[in-house]
Structure 1
Amino acid sequence: MASDAAETVSRQVGKGLEPRFNFDDAFADEDGEDEIFEFSSAAIRKQLAENYTVSDDTPTESGSVILGQDTSVSTFDLDGSIADSRSRSLSPSESPQPRTPEELDAEDGFSQVSLSEGHAELEATEEKQITSNGDAISTDKEGAYPAVHIDVSKSPSSRVETATDIETNTRYTETYSSNDKLPSSSSINPVSHSFVNEVHSSNLPSSLSLPLSIGSASSSFKHKPARSTGPSVLQQVVSKTRPPFLPPKSREEDKRHMADWETMMKHSRAAEEKRRKALQERRFARESKIELSIPIWEKEILPDWRVVSKKSTLKNLWWSGIPTKLRASMWERAVGNPLALSKDNYRTCFARAKRALASGVFPSETIHLIEEDILSTLPALHIFHPETGPLYQDLKDMLCAWVVSRSDEGLGYVTGISKIAAMFLINMPPHQGFIVMRNLLERHCMRSFYGGAAAKEEVEAYYRIFDTLLADGMPKIYFNFKQHQISPSAYLPDWLIPLFLNHLPFEACARVWDVLLLEGDSFLFRAALAILAVLEPRLFFPDRRELLELLRGENKAALDVAKRDARPLDGGKYEIYGVDEETLWERIESMEEWWRESTWKRLIQRELPDL
């Protein structure tokens, strides 16, 4: 009977059972004496001997082959690993007997004992066999003597760990993780054998020595994904602004707070309306002052507009704005005629465009671009509407003539030119506006942005110039843009190609144009910097996408506020940010402290030496 028990123990060493070794006998010089294995009771030895007759490679219901792991002591962990302490899963009847003093002394004397005489033989006889579905089958050699590792830092019931235990655990975990996905260890803790019996008794094999089916155990813990049904009833009524540590408000307090909020919002709207009226009154006063200055314009500036550059008082008068009735003549003189175009140039170009349209030679794609561009041109004025606008046909004819005039240079239509042509049509007749527009677009900066792919290097040079000016004048905005990787190419073309008519209010644009035609390209960049100065409090978004939306005039929060206040949204895109003529001009005038024309000329010479 003792030999049968010893043979049974040697078979079960790698299958989760912890034998008791007599260390004195293990290291004795005497030959022929069998090692003594101590167990809790004779009933356990008998049960192990009876249950071991069942095949280790019993297939499960799912068709997978289970490793020869003895589960008479619960070693199954819901995390997919083998529990380190096997003694916790033993039933009270199967608890080990108390240790003798000799055993305790022997364990105190050894922190790690390796009985490795048969270990090499065990490794040579043990192989991994891979089945067709990738499961690993471990074949244990009967009679192989394992390596035993004893860690005195652990509890007495879990100090002994055999090498075959470690190898089996490793193979078992690898097979388990490659075939089945179990819940993470952070969400499910290991449970005892009794709990597994209660919850998953249907998954247990008939014999206690057979392991649990991995597939069946893992499938029982798979949860169906819950479908989101939106916020719950509680979430709909819970306040999202009240601190959670405060008690819920009573009905009376809630009504009182709601009344206070409505009063606050009413006062805010009243203050905003008052500010808007004051701004409008100041604008009317400024326009009245400009109208009163017409005699000075007619007497001193109209005969020779170059006198403005000699007298600072006249220059300040020009910067205040040109009277509406004199704007056409002043713009024409300030732009000049460097292309030496005749007065009949518009008639000639339009006749060519008309013949091309009649013969079908005029590109249909260009016609489509022109019509789309006109639809977005100054929609608040309603004078360029395709059906009801009185200047729609004049604008379309002017754009077709401009396309023909550029065809000789191999250049096509550029979206945004419709805004510039519309501004000239508002202030002068088509033939005069066409000539002024062509000469204005011949200036180097505008020609670069309208020059297509051939002028790409020049456009990049202007981007570098603007970046340098931004870093010198507004370093916070510059570093914020660099942090979010936003270059001038992301917003500057949208401003310069239509000359700010897409983003600024019409009155502010008219005044910017007055000074732009007088000062040249340098004021174009100065106005762009002033726009960023007005937007500066809004430019420090943590998200790059939100920052780009703001620069495009599409910030959702500002649009919602404008809709709530019933403000029109068909004007300049930056009106929702509070950008108007007065605030913009305050920023432009404040730049006198650091803006230098010499800096502009130096940057032009550095970046565009051939200019």
Structure 2
Amino acid sequence: MALTTQIAERFRLQHRKWSPTSRAFTFKMEDLYNFKVAVTLEEAKALREVKENVKKQNKVWWLWEANRGPEWYAAPGMSCFSEISLVNLSECIELKKLVRKGVPVELRPKVWIAVSGAAKKSSTVPESYYADLCSAIEGRDTPATLQIDQDLARTFPSHPWLDTPAGHAALRRVLVAYSFRDSQVGYCQGMNYVAALLLLVMKNEEAAFWMLAVLLENILVKDCYSDDLTGCHVEQRVFKDLLEKHCPRLAMHLDDIGFDVSLVMTEWFLCLFSKSLPTETVMRVWDILFNEGTRILFRIALAIFKIQEDSLLSNITVGEVLKSCQETARTMYDPDKLLKVAFDGFDVMTTHSLTNQRLKHQEDVMEELENRIQKLNALRSPKELVPRQD
């Protein structure tokens, strides 16, 4: 009783009727990135434990900093994206373990920009590249900039910094700059949430821009954010194969009731779970994403389904499954629980095997999209189809 009362008081309860024994009671608290979240007392306890675990893990990182020197993780060959030599093999393995257990909030900007390859990418252009790009595009309007302007206010509304004129301006500059850097991609909804979290973590516009660039150009599958979302469609088919392999009963059940995984996978993969999972859980996933690549996205998606497999098997409608998936993801406040299932619950998943699966589905996706275009063209207004009569 005393513990729950202390927790309630600590997080400034905002409710007139409260009972320490009430499971349905919720109150608001701030997470590590200043997002306000409504949690139950049980969820508050979980968050408190997570914060304590973060503190313990921070000590491990700072010990490595003291022993190996500042930014030891930025040495050549440390990232999983680079060629590993025998000289630094042991440190590379240790870095991988450390990253999987979580990067300290204070070190995330430096660790991410180093291991992802963003620092290397930015070093290939003049230092003034981003500033020059922002100056060159100022005042220019394109379909991409118009869509970006519409999405700014929708991106994490009510966040104390993102939902301010300064936050909107910074997010706009990053997104517009990238839309001009890669006009083929331009802008796609979903990128706004990713860029917004990058800004919160990196605390620097230019660094957030380069993180977005390395993510879209080197880490994620090609055409993930293209106009027709080809890459996203391919990833969804690959995931469906993985679900059938690792959770065959569940995959069959979902198929029987007509649940298409794209109902959740589109948002999960385009927003990289930023709209679905609690912020610190997203950060833990991104820690691994920037060091190891996209395999973690499939593992996390599989883990979310695996954790709720028994309850999903009892759901008999598409709506029930969708609600269950969304609620399970939203309340996944313990990243260690999720990551344990993600890494221990499934077989080895190599980059090579994922590449082969993508190639297998790519042709089918392209053919399906082409058929859709043909059907849309066939549905043009009769006026367009009737020959002119002079």
Scaled by the length of structure 2, what TM-score is found? 0.70
Distance in 1 (CA, whole Å) between partners of 2:309 and 2:153 is: 31
Q: Answer yes or no: is 1:278 the counterpart of 2:40.
A: no
Residue of structure 2 aligned with 1:335, choices 109, 116, 125: 116
1:483 aligns with 2:235: no
Task: Tell me what 1:112 maps to.
Answer: none
Matched residue of 1:395: which SS?
helix
Q: How many angstroms does 1:267 deviate by? A: 5.2
Following superposition, the deviation at residue 304 of structure 1 comes to 2.1
The answer to whether residue 144 in structure 2 is matched with residue 369 in structure 1 is no
Distance 2:361 2:244 in 1: 25
590, 594, 608: which one aligns with 2:344 = 590
The answer for the alignment partner of 1:510 in structure 2 is 283
Match of 2:222 in 1: 447
Matched letter for residue 295 of structure 1: L
Question: What is the 5 A alignment of 1:137-216?
Answer: none
Once the two structures are TM-superposed, the CA of residue 550 in structure 1 deviates from its matched residue by 4.4
2:4 corresponds in structure 1 to none
- d(CA) in 2 for partners of 1:348 and 1:295? 40
1:268 deviates by 4.0
User: C-alpha deviations, 1:162-186, integer Å up to 9, x for none?
Assistant: xxxxxxxxxxxxxxxxxxxxxxxxx
Correspondence for 2:64 among 284, 296, 300 = 296
The one-letter amino acid paired with 2:239 is F
CA distance in 1, matches of 2:170, 2:304: 32
C-alpha distance 492-391 of structure 1, shift in aligned 2 (>3 A): same
Q: What secondary structure sits across from 2:48 in the alignment?
A: helix
Q: Which has the higher contact order (CA 8 A, sep 6+)?
A: 2
Matched residues in 2 for 1:326 and 1:305: separation?
18
In the alignment, is the contact (CA less than 8 A) between 2:243 and 2:251 conserved in 1? yes
Letter in 1 for 2:303: A
Partner residue, 2:352? 601
Q: Which among 165, 179, 186 is matched to residue 403 of structure 1? A: 179
Against the structure 1 CA distance between its residues 265 and 305, is the aligned structure 2 distance closer, same or farther, given a 3 Å change threshold? same
How has the CA–CA distance of structure 1 residues 286 and 318 changed in structure 2, closer, same or farther, with 3 Å as cutoff?
same
Shift of 1:549: 4.6
Alignment match, 2:128 = 344
The residue matched to 2:222 in structure 1 has which SS?
A: helix
Structure-1 residue corresponding to 2:188? 414
Of structures 1 and 2, the larger Rg is shown by 1
Contact 2:134–2:177 under 8 Å retained in 1: yes
Structure 1 residues 473 and 430, CA gap change in structure 2 (3 angstroms): same
List gaps (5 residues or longer) in structure 1: 1-261, 357-361, 559-572
2:274 maps to 501
Distance (whole Å) between structure 2 residues aligned to residue 610 and residue 536 of structure 1 = 26
Displacement of 1:354 in angstroms is 0.3
Deviation at 1:580, TM superposition (A): 4.1
Shift of 1:321: 0.9
**Selected match of 2:293 from 496, 508, 520:** 520
- Whole-Å separation in 2 of the counterparts to 1:589 and 1:493: 22
Q: What are the Cα deviations for residues 66-96 of structure 1, in whole angstroms up to 9, with x where unaligned? A: xxxxxxxxxxxxxxxxxxxxxxxxxxxxxxx
User: 8 Å contact 1:331–1:514 — kept in the other structure?
Assistant: yes
Aligned residue type for 1:331: W
How many residue pairs get matched?
A: 315
> Which secondary structure state, in structure 2, belongs to the residue aligned with residue 504 of structure 1?
coil
CA contact (8 A) 2:57 2:104 kept: yes
Structure 1's 383 and 446: CA in aligned 2 closer, same or farther, altered over 3 A?
A: farther
After TM superposition, the structure 1 = structure 2 runs for residues 70-89 of structure 1, keeping only pairs within 5 Å, are: none
The CA distance in 1 between the partners of 2:157 and 2:18, in whole Å, is 35
For residues 253-291 of structure 1, what are the alpha-carbon distances to aligned partners after superposition, in whole Å with 9 as ceiling and x for unaligned?
Answer: xxxxxxxxx999945458995533431332122121122
d(CA) in 1 for partners of 2:137, 2:99: 37
Counterpart residue type for residue 138 of structure 2: K
Q: Secondary structure at the match of 1:447?
A: coil
Q: Deviations over 1:380-421 (max 9, x none)?
A: 53211145xx422111121121222222x3x33201111111
Q: Which residue of 2 aligns with 1:110?
A: none
Could you tell me which amino acid in structure 1 is paired with residue 152 of structure 2? I
- CA gap of 1:545–1:343, structure 2 versus 1, over 3 A, is same
* Partner Cα separation in structure 2 for residue 461 and residue 308 of structure 1: 26
Of residues 156, 164, 188, the one that matches 1:378 is 156
Give the counterpart letter for 2:356 in structure 1. Answer: Q
Q: Deviation at 1:487?
A: 3.2
Listed as ranges, the gaps of 5+ residues in structure 2 are: 1-16, 27-38, 81-88, 363-390
Cα distance in 1, alignment partners of residues 145 and 233 from structure 2: 30
Secondary structure at the counterpart of residue 138 of structure 2:
helix
Deviation at 1:578, TM superposition (A): 5.0
For residues 208 and 332 of structure 2, the distance between their equivalents in structure 1, rounded to whole angstroms, comes to: 31
1:299 Cα deviation after fit:
4.0
Percent of aligned pairs with the same amino acid:
21
Residue 323 of structure 1 aligns to which amino acid in structure 2? Answer: P
Instruction: Report if the CA contact (8 A) 2:278-2:332 is conserved.
Output: no
1:434 and 2:209 matched: yes
Code of the aligned partner of 1:583: K
CA contact (8 A) 1:384 1:391 kept: yes
Say which structure is richer in helix.
2
Contact 1:504 1:580 in 2 (8 A): no
